[in-house]
Amino acid sequence: MIYPTTAADNAPTDEEYEHLLMVAKRIQNPRKRTKAVFMLRAMGELGLRSGELLHFRPSWLDRERKIIQIPVQDDCRCRYCQEQAAAAAENDDITQAEALENYWQPKYRASHRAVPYTKSDKTVEITEQFADMVGNYDCAQSTINRRLNRLIECAGVNEDIHPHALRAYAALWWARQGLEAVYLQGLFGWNDMRVAVRYIQAGGNQLQQRINELTQANDISDGEHITDLTTGGLHNTDEVISQAQATSSPAEHPRSRDGSPSIEQPSTTETPSPDCSQASLQSYIDA
């Protein structure tokens, strides 16, 4: 049986994501560079959908709390919304103006949410820099796709990466850090918690960490202390519990496809793909 490919299947590895960022940072025009880096970090770290990225406004930022507040509805007449309204009008036999009254809205009701942008200092910096320097994207979904494809070509990474695969990369990253399903669902705005559970299962780290905790606790028992593997509780002294916690394995750091550890920031000794010339990047800017 052939199973359909999912966004998670096409998510970049840690190394591929870092290469994409490295190429984006080489764009010489400050405004274009800011737009490119924010595009990657907003989808690949904050987990924004491409539609949410296209409708980002500086007014969505709460700088004091460091969150992006995605609204229930935002009146919009951008190219993306006009394209969506035109398609809706054709399908529902109404005028485009009538259809446009419903735009813009996030994908689900649950997608109205607060998204912290504090994953790293660089994420905070580029989010607020984009809000101050650029403000918002004024382009169609196809433009986002073209620009991402150009960065992929310049970086020489998996050509199957697409905007939703970047969002899947973010979901897998947070699942591997141990973020529970209810919080993962809230962060990504899924309508169904089962989606969050699937990402946690795909990451595998929470299950491995729990097994490690139970195994380590069982290993140090000396016959007088009984480990209850059914309930996950330890019926022993406080000292044994503290020892078990101290010896339990931390969550495994995400790894790349070749098994090498993930790198939080690209090394200063790394060089981009040979195809990543300024001429290639200029074609990205003109896309």
Q: Please return the burial class of 80, using the count of CB atoms within 10 Å of its CB with bins 0-12, 13-18 and 19+.
A: buried
- Residues 24-36: what's their mean pLDDT? 97
Supply the DSSP symbol for 6: -
- Residue 67 has φ and ψ, to the nearest 5°, of -130, 155
Alpha carbons within 13 A on the beta-carbon side of 143: 17
Query: At 62, which helix (H) or strand (E)?
Result: strand 61-62
Confidence of residue 215 (pLDDT cuts 50, 70, 90): confident
- Residues 125-151: what's their mean pLDDT? 94
Q: Please say if the pLDDT value at position 33 is more than 70.
A: yes
- Residues 28-45: what's their mean pLDDT? 97
Percent of the chain with pLDDT over 90: 51
The pLDDT value recorded for residue 14 is 95
Distance CA 11, CA 273 (A): 19
Q: Please say if the pLDDT value at position 256 is more than 70.
A: no
The pLDDT value recorded for residue 263 is 33
* Closest residue by Cα to residue 175 from 157, 153, 193, 148: 193
